Chains A and B, each alone.
Chain A
């Protein structure tokens, strides 16, 4: 299994793809040691990613989405105090496997790219070295072969005259090109999953669209699953097929992008969609979600969104489970059947989501 050629692995996984998830996260909880004691960053995270699937993880900053992404490759900061639950990837539990096994998976079967391509690249090595490095760590290719593959990879990520660029240093490239280099280094071993943590946030808007296009195309052509972590719903709508919404360290909704955009089941998802500037009608003030995310120290029992939720009633203080809503959808709200929440495409016609949302 370890020696399989990337292409064979992918086709094998794709055949079983309809029934088996590529990665299954169950009950993932991440705790950190802080000066104030143990801090539970996320809990009860459940989700699957199918082979070749493009999943967006969305939520406000601090909701635990980046931490969740880092935990898959166990790249969490040193003050980690504990990891609960399991992350099954092709029969291996990433949450508990040995460091050695993990190192064999990193970069070869699961790759990751980050928000700031400038600081994510080593400034004193050429981009060619940094791309070929992934290949040379995991395979026995010769130096010349690695160079040839690196040039090929640079071309695939859309870098012009790769023969020249391969010997340049990160500071000689533009931000968009650096992120392309990061993508090249991530994909050169043909991984089955690419985790992209806010890959376009630090880039110019025009470059953002190009990078997202590139990610979507590469994911489609090489059958690499994409886990796109972002706070930008527009990015998810453009790039992904499924959307997982997180709030205060929990998964609160899991649906296809189309379904979630048109008819969100969780009041928080609905609120997020309605506060998108470019999707909102130009009438008056942009709707926003009142209040703020509860702090870790005073996390309420039951639904964590209830203090900000216009639909909160007695019963919301009960512990909320991730419920099956049919058609592969899941939602962490016991009232989802009775609520008819506005999505991004229809709120001109519907009532405001909350009395507290001021409209002028």
Chain B
């Protein structure tokens, strides 16, 4: 069975990513142009004359046709230049590199928490299906799915920061400067996002583990004299890990999306806040830059998950 080399697989996957990046940035660009509001008016300031606004439009190239504007942006982006913010004049790449670590920390903490709680929950639930442990897990998981992240975030702020004063309620600290402070700031937003992830991991893992444990090959393993522990940890986990990797990659995508709201609640200067501000101010280079970054992150995460799946399951043709 001929297998392609990992380098070729990765190259091929990145090629597939190109149309996704094109489509995503083009759609966001179109949406920004469709919604009412004009950045030239903002830039011109109060009491500006129409002539002044028109002049600003010309300076920033906002008078050019829609497709030309998009084409210019794309041409620069391909060369690694995400251009500047229309409002502040700061390089978009600089804004993103300042905001991204904050978002990355929140998502990493959320993912770690979700896996650290969801995986054990899924396993204990699957060992005795329909037992009281299983029922408790499924109840907790239902809660996790049903509770909106922003609501949980507000409750956490009210109880844990304001009442108990254990953790800071807002803001972020640089991980490079003081890791502990950075984690303390990211913990509550991380928990708020992790609740859904925990529920999803627990439910999906329970389901796929149950399917594996009731399979015919597990009966063979019993017939060979293997202990339940060995069947579960060796054969069970290897067989469900493919599903687990897929769950994780979907979860990361979802968590990235969730940061938009959560960063607003906790006033964290991350990618989410950046794109929201950019969208409100019609500062399209910012919005485009963030979308571009997020698409790349999502594609990378999916690629890693695919490679891990292929490493575990020999049936997957790369």
In the complex, whether A107 has a CB less than 8 A from a CB of chain B is yes
In the complex, whether A134 has a CB less than 8 A from a CB of chain B is yes
Contacts of A75-92 to chain B: CB distance below 8 A: 75
Q: Contacts of A123 on B, CB cut-off 8 Å?
A: 217, 239, 313-315
Interface residues on A, range: 20 to 34
Task: Please tell me if the beta carbons of B226 and A137 are within 8 angstroms of each other in the complex.
Answer: yes
Which residue from B215, B222, B238 sits with its C-beta under 8 Å from A75? B222
Q: Contacts of B216 on A, CB cut-off 8 Å?
A: 114, 116, 119-120
Please tell me which stretch of A52-60, A98-106, A227-235 contacts chain B, meaning at least 4 of its Cβ atoms lie within 8 angstroms of it. A98-106
Task: Please tell me if the beta carbons of A119 and B225 are within 8 angstroms of each other in the complex.
Answer: no
A110's closest neighbor in chain B, by CB?
Answer: B223
Task: Please tell me if the beta carbons of A75 and B314 are within 8 angstroms of each other in the complex.
Answer: no
Q: Contacts of B220 on A, CB cut-off 8 Å?
A: 112, 114, 120-122, 182, 185
Interface string of B88-113 (1 = CB under 8 A from A): 00000000000000000000000000
In the complex, whether A133 has a CB less than 8 A from a CB of chain B is yes
A106's closest neighbor in chain B, by CB?
Answer: B225
A116 to chain B, nearest CB (A): 6
B216's closest neighbor in chain A, by CB?
Answer: A119
Task: Please tell me if the beta carbons of B226 and A133 are within 8 angstroms of each other in the complex.
Answer: yes
Q: Which of B217, B242, B313, B315: most chain A CB closer than 10 A?
A: B217
Task: Please tell me if the beta carbons of B224 and A107 are within 8 angstroms of each other in the complex.
Answer: yes
Task: Please tell me if the beta carbons of A124 and B312 are within 8 angstroms of each other in the complex.
Answer: yes
A119-B215, A119-B216, A182-B220 are known contacts. Are A124 and B314 too (CB-CB below 8 A)? yes
In the complex, whether B173 has a CB less than 8 A from a CB of chain A is no
Complex: how many Å from CA A186 to CA B222? 12
Q: Contacts of B215 on A, CB cut-off 8 Å?
A: 119
B235 to chain A, nearest CB (A): 5
Complex: how many Å from CA A119 to CA B312? 18
Complex: how many Å from CA A54 to CA B217? 25
Complex: how many Å from CA A138 to CA B221? 13
B219's closest neighbor in chain A, by CB?
Answer: A75
Complex: how many Å from CA A133 to CA B223? 12
Complex: how many Å from CA A104 to CA B226? 9
Contacts of A238-291 to chain B: CB distance below 8 A: none
A69 to chain B, nearest CB (A): 10
Q: Which of B1, B219, B238: most chain A CB closer than 10 A?
A: B219
Which residue from A105, A108, A137 sits with its C-beta under 8 Å from B230? A137
A152 to chain B, nearest CB (A): 18
A137-B230, A169-B315 are known contacts. Are A121 and B217 too (CB-CB below 8 A)? yes
A188 to chain B, nearest CB (A): 9
Mind listing 5 A-B residue pairs with CB under 8 Å? A75-B222, A75-B223, A119-B217, A133-B226, A185-B220
Q: Which residues of A are interface residues toward B (Cβ below 8 A)? A: 73, 75, 103-108, 111-112, 114, 116, 119-125, 133-134, 137-138, 169, 171-172, 182, 185-186
The 8 closest A-B pairs by CB, nearest first: A107-B225, A106-B225, A107-B224, A119-B216, A169-B314, A112-B223, A122-B217, A134-B224
